Amino acid sequence: MHLRDLIDLTDLRPSELTDILRFAGEISQNPSYYCGNCQHKIMATLFYEPSTRTQMSFQAAMLRLGGKLIGFDDPENSSVAKGETLKDTVRVISNYADVLVIRSPWEGAALAASLYARCPVINAGDGGHLHPTQTLTDLTTLNYTVGRLENLTVGLCGDNKNGRTVHSLVRTLSRYKNNRFVLISTPQLTLPQYLQDEITANGCTVEFSHSLEKSIPALEVLYMTRIQKERFGGDEEYERQKGVFVLDAAKLALAKPSMRVLHPLPRVDEISVEVDDDPRAAYFAQTEYGLYARMALIQRITENEDRQVPPTLADTHQARCGNPRCITQKEEYLPHLFRETAAGLVCKYCDRAVSE
């Protein structure tokens, strides 16, 4: 890998992504063969937001590589509760560990952490923005269960607005040829415009649907997500959105026999339990592929000596990001970093256009 950190999968060169996916496949054939590859290495998990799968899968991946673990999953038990900044926490813990894995409710937190860390940083989810290692998991699952990453009709059903797994997935999968994305959601929970634009700029197509029944027959992949309750302003709107799209046996009967159902989990009520035993349900196998994908990533990131470290810490422009969920709103010392695009300045932390 030419970069030190994994903040967004699309920062990787295509050949680097292919290598990690291929390596995950190799590991899955004989996981115990790799059991000493991270001996004497320490991974720190900094989880500022609840997690079962991602955290445990990272921990299990490191333990299976022979490495060791430190970290917290309840910031109330760490110095964060005393008011420590992200910058200080990361500086200190990166002196103890060889790799940091961070999850935060703030968009852009992993990029912010990488500016101050002395070791590689992996983004394990930054608010409603991105979740690149879930996408590694999803792509590994597609390689195994569908056999390809291109020429696919992929339905994304649920919370396309707030679902960071959806954001990372479409961003990465639209870089493969000829994929068609069917966005199945209520009008309120549609995919952010910047990601719709990115899909079309990458040469893939986007369609919108308000009916799972009508869309399901054409799909090769159905990616279901829960409504992201924690990203809603209040319970009332959440109550209106939940339960609108539910995959049950009757709807699955309309799908191709070869379609695969993926879900990053946790599931709430969007997939009925009766679907679990259908051969098309791939979401429990997906959690196992996630383990191999993370083993592959941890190994590549910790063996990486010759890597680019983040740039110097100076504002790139006079502008300020207006997204209230952006990490720059919370950690005020952060440099204000922007990209110049056709749509104007875009915040490097959270991908929001300054004009939005």
Per CB under 6 A, residues contacting ligand NCD are 53-54, 125, 131, 134, 164-165, 225-226, 264-266
Give 134's contacts (C-beta < 8 A, 6+ positions apart).
Answer: 54, 125, 164, 165, 168, 169, 264, 290
- Give all strands (DSSP E) within 189-251, no chain letters: 205-209, 221-224
> If you count DSSP H runs as helices and E runs as strands, how many of each does the chain have, helices first?
12, 11
Q: Judge whether 46 and 59 are in contact, CB under 8 Å.
A: no
Nearest distance, CB of residue 232 and ligand NCD, angstroms: 13
Residue of 92, 100, 46 lying closest to 302 (CA atoms): 100
Between 215 and 225, CB nearer to ligand NCD: 225
d(CA 192, CA 352): 10
Between 120 and 264, CB nearer to ligand NCD: 264
d(CA 161, CA 27): 34
Between 37 and 238, CB nearer to ligand NCD: 238
Q: To the nearest 10°, report the CA torsion of 239, 244, 247, 250.
A: 130
Nearest distance, CB of residue 226 and ligand NCD, angstroms: 5
d(CA 123, CA 144): 24
Nearest distance, CB of residue 288 and ligand NCD, angstroms: 13
Residue of 131, 75, 86, 84 lying closest to 112 (CA atoms): 86
Between 105 and 335, CB nearer to ligand NCD: 105
Between 162 and 323, CB nearer to ligand NCD: 162
For strands 338-341 and 344-347, give the pairing: antiparallel
Nearest distance, CB of residue 276 and ligand NCD, angstroms: 17
Q: Which residues of 125-160 are buried (b: 16+ CB within 10 A; e: fewer)?
A: bbbbbbbbbbbbbbbbbbbbbbeebeebbbbbbbbb
Nearest distance, CB of residue 225 and ligand NCD, angstroms: 6
Between 134 and 329, CB nearer to ligand NCD: 134
d(CA 122, CA 110): 7
Separation of CA 354 from chain center? 23
Between 133 and 323, CB nearer to ligand NCD: 133
Nearest distance, CB of residue 326 and ligand NCD, angstroms: 18
Nearest distance, CB of residue 260 and ligand NCD, angstroms: 17
Nearest distance, CB of residue 94 and ligand NCD, angstroms: 23
Between 103 and 175, CB nearer to ligand NCD: 103
Q: Judge whether 137 and 130 are in contact, CB under 8 Å.
A: no
Nearest distance, CB of residue 73 and ligand NCD, angstroms: 13
Between 178 and 188, CB nearer to ligand NCD: 188
